[in-house]
Structure 1
Amino acid sequence: MCSGTNSTTLTLSDYVGTIQDWESSTSASGPWTSLSHTGSSLAVTDLTATTYYRAIVANGVCSSDYSSIATVTVSPSTVGGTVSGATTLCASDNTDYTLSLSGHTGDVIRWERSLTGSDQWITIDETSTTLTYSDLQETSWFRAIVQSGVCEEVASSSAQIQIDAESDGGQLSGSQEVCSGTNSTTLTLSDYVGTIQDWESSTSAFGPWTSLSHAGSSLAVTDLTATTYYRAIVANGVCSSDYSSIATVTVSPSTDAGVLTGAVAVCEGTNAGTVNLTGYVGNIVRWEYSLTGKQPWAPIHQQTAALDYNDLNATTWYRAVVQSGVCEQVISNSVKITVDPPTVAGVINGTSEVCTAINSGALTLNDYVGSILKWQQSEDETTWTDLSNTTSQLNFENLTTTTFYRVQVQSGTCELAHSEGFQVIVNPLPQVIFESAEVCEGTVTSFTNTTTVGASYAWDFGDGESSTLASPRHQYKEFGVYTVKLTATSASGCVDSLSKTVKVNPIPTARFSHEDVCFGNDVDFSDLSVVAEGSIASYSWDFGDGEGSTNSNVSHRYIEDGTYEVSLNITTKKGCADNIARTVRVFPLPETAFTFKEVCHGNATQFSNDSYITSGSLTYLWDFGDGETATVVNPAHTFEASGDYFVSLKATSAEGCVTSQQQQVAVYEQPQAQFTFESICHDQEAKFINTSIGEGLSYLWDLGDGLTSEEESPTHSYQSPGLYHVTLSVVNADGCESEQTQVIRVSPLPQVNFNMDDVCLGEKVSFVNNSSISTGSVDYEWNFGDGNLSNDINPQHEYTSDGEYAVTITGTSDQGCVSSVTKVVTVYPLPEPAYSVESVCDGTPSQFVDKSSINKGTIEEYLWDFGDQTNSILANPVKQYLNHGSYDVNLRLKSDKGCVASGSGTAVVHEFPVAKFSVVNVCDGFAVKPNNESFISEGLLTYSWDFGDGEESAAESPTHLYATDGDYEITLTARSAEGCTDVYSNVVQVYATPEVSAGQDTSISKGYSVQLHGSGGVDYSWYPLDGLNNSNIPNPIATPMETTSYEVTVSDQYGCQNSDTVLVMVNDDFKIVANNVFTPDGNGQNDAWVIENVEAFGDVNVRVYDRYGSLVFQEKAYDNDWAGTYGNDILPDGTYFYVITFSESDQKYQGALTIIRNN
């Protein structure tokens, strides 16, 4: 049974007696265990191990007896186990590989294979725990089927053998021809098997090749400047990589049209010359010319670099058209052959007569051909002076004498010529002179004309008016300055003019202002006269009382009141005058007087008004000198306080004329007791300030604590804090009394104290305030001794530097009482961490050099945190970092006072470069191309290669050609920018070229075969394929129809190739062999007459005769298909005779032929 859930029944038979018990044991030899069962059958279940059973039987008094032993064999549960050895292989890999089963329970009864890993498992007749396989062409899954005894079969885990198809580089398309420079094309890889690993390019179809680090199926190629070859590298899975076919991008150099020279100017008629093209790239396609330098251009079918021209009659431009390969045609610069027409000097036209001095004119040269070289002038047409003017127009000005002009002209390279002279006549100008006088507004201005050489006149008076009189008179409507212009014209039409300014002065406006006054006051006369231009020169005042003045602004006091007529006359500096008159009034003044009697404070004072005026009425205003007023005629007034008061009476007339009188009024004083003081603290004296009011006073103080004083302002010290009632009594010389009582407070002092602990710099000092006061509250001010203050009760303070500080606490009570105390706190200095560490390469220890210091005391402890979860307590530790990088290093210091400070820095461990490369073994004659796989995560590497044959290179990915085959150790040294280096070595094999042989030259008859004998390789390839039965075996059968040289190329086990040739000469000797018996009975064997090698000769003529000489068969180009018939009739068995001839040879075959049929 299988272990676990199981059951069976054991039955005892053929026994004599009574069953006493059953027993069981795991061993046939015991020990045995009682099962306490007396039945004839025993049910057994869920056994996990093989068990033995027996029954005990006793009959009567006879001794008991044991039954035979029954065995229940228990197999352990089947465990399928695990198959190891899963891998990936290339389809071409024919190596034997083994799968192994482990961890199973039971026996392997078979192995199975599946192409899906899930179904269709195929049985493999193998029962061992290993399975060997080879030459798999499809991905397969393998498993073992295990069975333990009678337990169920269980499958093991499956192992996948992944089979990758052989790599196929595929076909590369997109070859084309492009132009150097800006170009583009796309190469596409198709029909490849595997994954594209890279693309390579080379400027030679034979290498060396450069990686392009590209893995796409298409490659965009741009901006090539040289013909370039491309191939792709394809690898499928674990299979070796394969190269694609080569695509070629042929690059034509960019067309350069070069430089065309030879531009020149020639004269129309007889001329000749050459233009030359130099520095061009490509071929000259044609020349072109144009008569405008623009389209159209006409072709000249000439391809040489020099182009001749002659006898040109018009200006002509030439250019060349150049093209390089497939590049665009490029047009060169154009050169201009300027053809100049014959010189024509032309004719001068223009101004022929001018007036002298200020004049101008323009001369124009017309109908000329060529370029103006210069103008010339002369006063006698004999001596000519050059003028710097090369335009067709000459402007002249300010001529004073008659002058002749001519022009010098030249057309290009043709001879120069002069135009005819042109005369410009110069006439004299009139001399314009006139005078006029300056006038006031409204007066006529007279003009006196003394012009010479004048024939007619034109006056412009500057106000829109004019005249043609010789000496006119003109009145201006407004004052101002006018510009007068006189223009005179001579008989010859010459004109001159003269402009002058004429002044018309404005009339002034007389005005003044004043105010009517009360008698005794001055009347102020303010001049308001104005003049539009200029200034007033004189004034004349008449005040109407026989008095006057010549000032502009005056004051005048009249000796009597009344009404007066005042006039003002003014005159400007230019003599223009005006006047004005106005009325002035002077009012009479009132007479003011009053009387009174003096009283004591508290009684009313009675005032009597004695004022009057000569005419009109009066109003009154009393001012009592205490801020009070009244407007009644005779008032009574009570003063609020004693003292002397200045009382005034003001009388005002109806015209506002005012007079006043002031007198002193006395009100006797009533004394007033009063004093001031300030509440004090217990440690202070009270100061009482007597501010009582009154004269000749005496004093008595009650100080509230049982003591008195007669001082005017006493001081007093109280024995204890508290409130005290203080009274001041005063008396004056008249016996008047007054008293005042006030309360003074004597406040207690605060009792201040504090404590604190010394600290390290950077820590806060905590101050504990132990102050108190008996009554009231206290405000505190702390002075920390470093310029900082605080009003907190229990402040904390952090000092910015170490040292000893005197700290003072000042307590101020709510009554302003102050006390203070000072103590010293010590701030210990912090150690100042500092260190240096040099950058190292990965693998080199970092040396930390301590440079820490402390102002006072000593540094007792060091703790380094190296930034990689390691630390040290040494002062100058050495640290070996496990990885490269920048590490944040922290140094923690502790002083003898327990003060701690930390400082951070960076330790740099430069990455150690990894030098690595792979290299593919090569055949002799091929360059080794190591694939540089060195790397560093940051920065650049430099390289040094030692190829093991004395040659070296510093290239990143060099190539190297060894002189001989053999094994060479290549060593690569990679160096980082920081100087860290790594060295890696690898051995490359340069395989010897295989020694190939194609065998000895031989000869055969046409149509016959010969076996070739190739040797020296593993793989063979024969060429040409014509006549070979198999071109890929060492010894193919060759049946050439003509003499052929066969080349065999062999590859050894490393893929190295070599080739050799063998010559098979074919003799055209018409050799054939005719069979003499055939059996055309339709059984498929020997049913046709065969002539060996007859198919080699298309001109063969075959004839067959019977024994009577009759022709029974004839055929040209016989094809071994005659079945012994004559037309549609079957020939009887027997002997026949054949004759075989050739149209191109005298060779002849004849013999007997037997036909035998088996039916």
Structure 2
Amino acid sequence: MVKVLKYSFIIAFLLLFEIFPANATHIVGGVVNYRHVSGNTYTITLRVYRDCFFGQAPFDNPAIIGVYDDNNNFVSSLSFSNPIVSAVNPPINNPCLIIPPNICVEEGRYVGSFTAPNPNMGYHLVYQRCCRNNTISNINLPVGATYNAYIPPTSVYANSNPVFNIFPPLFICVNAPLVFNHSATDPDGDSLVYELCTPFQGGDTMNPVPNPPAPPPFPNVVFQPPFTQNNPLGSTVPLAININSGVLTGTPDFTGQFVVGVCVSEYRNGVFLSQTIRDFQFNVTTCNIPTANIPSTNIDPNTQIGDFIELCEDNTTVKFNHQSSGAVSYEWHFGDPTTTADVSTLQSPTWDYPLVPGNYLVTLIAINDVGCVDTARANVIVHPLPNVSLTNDTTICPNSQIQLSASGGVKYQWSPANLFSDPKLPNPIASPGFNNGNPVKIDVFVTDVNGCTSSDSMFIDFHPLPDIDAGMDTSVCLEPNSFRDSVQLQATGGVSYTWTPLSGLNDSTVSNPIARPPTNMTYHVTGVDLNGCSASDSVLVYFLDPKLDIISVEIEEICINDSTQLVVLDQGTITSYSWSPNFMLSDPNEREPIFYPNTTTDYILTISNYCYVKDDTVEIIVHPLPLANAGNLDSVCIGDTIQLNASGGIMYSWQYSPSLSDTSIANPFAFPTDTSKYYITVTDINGCIASDSVTVLVHQLPTPNTYTDDPRKYICFGQSVILRSEGGVQYNWNFSETLTTLFGDSTIATPLDTTMYIVKVTNKHSCKVKDSVVVNVQKPITPKGDSLFDICVGLNITPTVTGGLYYQWTPSDYLSFSNIPNPIITPQASIVYRVYISNDCFRDSLDIDVKVRELPDADAGPSMSTFRGIPVTLNGSGGGDYLWTPAEDLDDPLIANPTASPLWTTTYSLRVTNEYGCVDFDSLILTVNSKDLLLVPTGFTPDGDGMNDYFGILQHLNVEKLLEFKVFNRWGEVVFEGFDMDDEWNGRYKGKDQEMGTYIFLVRYRNFDGDILVERGNVTLLR
């Protein structure tokens, strides 16, 4: 995530008593300027800035400026008295910053004159003073300061040094970008070069006002590491100044007080004249600005932009969230290149990105309640879907397996998952069964390293299932060489066969083996058809052996009225069965009939087939039922529980009821909500079962009515009231010292505050319930609410008062309602309200003072027009603080009369704020006309006398870019070529002075309207 801070309204109040202690005193900054008047005379201006709130020393009166010549010889002392003292109202770098009332910086401006004794000599003007503020963070021993200027020889230059245009902001915000125009104006039009430099030390506590001041060279202040001349704020993004424009930029990382030095060097025709130094203090503090934060990962250390979310191109809907703080509104820009409507003001919006892979840069702007903003950015990454490769459609045998294969990702999921050995492998074994002969669709979902998923599918078809038949069931006799001691089996439907088990078979690999099993045996045959597909069938061969036990048990036990079916050895269809006695069973001639005797009985089975005749016997024992007892009739109060008690067996099962705690024990707990019957099934040691039931009566709780005998439904503080309760036969009141008795259907209460009294009421069934009554006690009024409001005319407030039940405001002027605790007040003038606050017993009042402040009268001035390239001064009025918008092309949008240099016709809006924070607006239209102007001289004299030594473009309007600037001699040679509007010809070519005469120039340029224009002409070179 990358953050860019912007500011748009006043928001912060600095607690300077915590940041800057009371002993932070004295010198804040200074500079020396001089201006050539005439002859050898100069006007000298000394500007000294001091802390006038905590400062202990006044401005010097007089101020002593020492004068030293080029050889550092003392010349004289200049004494400047009666400084012009004015409060400094510096431009505030951050409009979200409020300068607190305990900040005071004054400028002491001394003006005098100086006449150079020797016009061929240069002179140093030196002012020294103690002391700098002791709270400065970036230098050692901040004791004093030296401010000086150098006047080059008057006979050669008659110079005036540059004057800085604006005093720097006293306060800047930590972690917020700083952009300040620290440029200067040179009266002579000399070229200026800016740089950061180290300020000088000066007077100390032993000699606070040196007289005369010490000569150059001057000792520099010593920066305390990690602070340096080129990083005086110790920031990751250091303070820097543009060498050409003087614009100061940087982002401070630390709060504190820092000394900064800025030097401007002036050059005339490439010759260095002098350097002017100004030092000042930056107070870096924490500002109350919002923080925009989009949670991100993989943050780029250079751009500080990370990834908010990674998506796949089949689902590009993003639900945005953020972790911003201090904001009340938000503006999202989703970075969708397919539309210009990709914005939202919702706190957590949703956006559908195009189904196209790529990176989308989303921007969040967080705005606080006064308009200050912070910006965060993050990436939304849309990945392409993986390219899936899958096994082709195929045909297999029913119930066989096949290995499938897929590629294109790092994770796989096959479906249906139950058909695979491992559905998460890229090459699993599939077992699709037969699916009634219908093709099976196989899907595979492939996920790549980005978490994106694609799918593909294929079909598995089946060969027909072979119709394998093992033949009809058959039998053999026990005795060898008997009527039927073996049998030939016959399988059909395949081209090859395999029989199992091998016991009793002469050949297990033919379709018709001979079988003589040692007992009843089922033979299985597996046949394979021409497709290589297999199927199985079976045939049962009965082994007719009279020595075998025909009935599986000798004794069978049942309960009376029950039935049973015995397991009898199957001897095939060639065997007949006969049971005796032939009653109390379903069919005496059936192999396994149903038996239901009511007494213990022996049954004999006679079986007969072509191998033998045999009898077998079974005894069926009949047990009586248990004596089930669910218990006697009982009762319970609704909401209570009762324990049931059943008997007569070893296992119990109650019919399900949600009011039973456990249906599988003899004595569960019951909690019925109405009279209920519970059914129990009892099982004895023989497994015989009987049932019973029990009824539980449920009595209702009493329905009490508890109340007071006071019809007002309240009492006043200090009064008593009778409490009454009814609906039962017995009453018990919860203990309270405010009750006269705790027993009976009535009692007297004298509560000190609103109180709930609880009584337990019992009815004739001994069922109990609690009831309550609340005694409302109205106490004396304690009014609460703010008593002073300060608003701008035309606005409204909603004060809130509390402490009572009823409210009456007087007077009722400007009120939305006069009988509510929080009316809306829209006053047109200051007013004092009295609010009467009461309940049914007591009354009090509260006065509220509403002061209404007038709006400022904003005046942006009349609309104007200009030519492109000619600055215009706007003239606003009407208040203390100004804000012009748009701020582009303005030298300072925070002053009443900024200079505007727009390229196009612009509407400027002025926002004026007075000392009460009240705001008014006005606007004007600055019409920009297009006028093409290019002025060049008709001649020049490059003789080195400093007058008219160069040929170039003197003035221009509406020029966006110089395309060509050439000078030709009479033979057509290019003797000069310029690339910038400031480039000039010195009359030389190839290092030699050119002869006098007429030369041709050509200038080709593009204006701001996009037109290409050409200027041609002659220029005369004279010597």
> After TM superposition, is the score higher than 0.5?
no
**Structure with max Cα Rg:** 1
Q: Which has the higher strand share?
A: 1
Which protein has greater RCO, CA pairs closer than 8 Å, 6+ apart?
A: 2
Q: Give the alignment's TM-score, normalised by structure 2.
A: 0.30
Q: Give the alignment's TM-score, normalised by structure 1.
A: 0.27
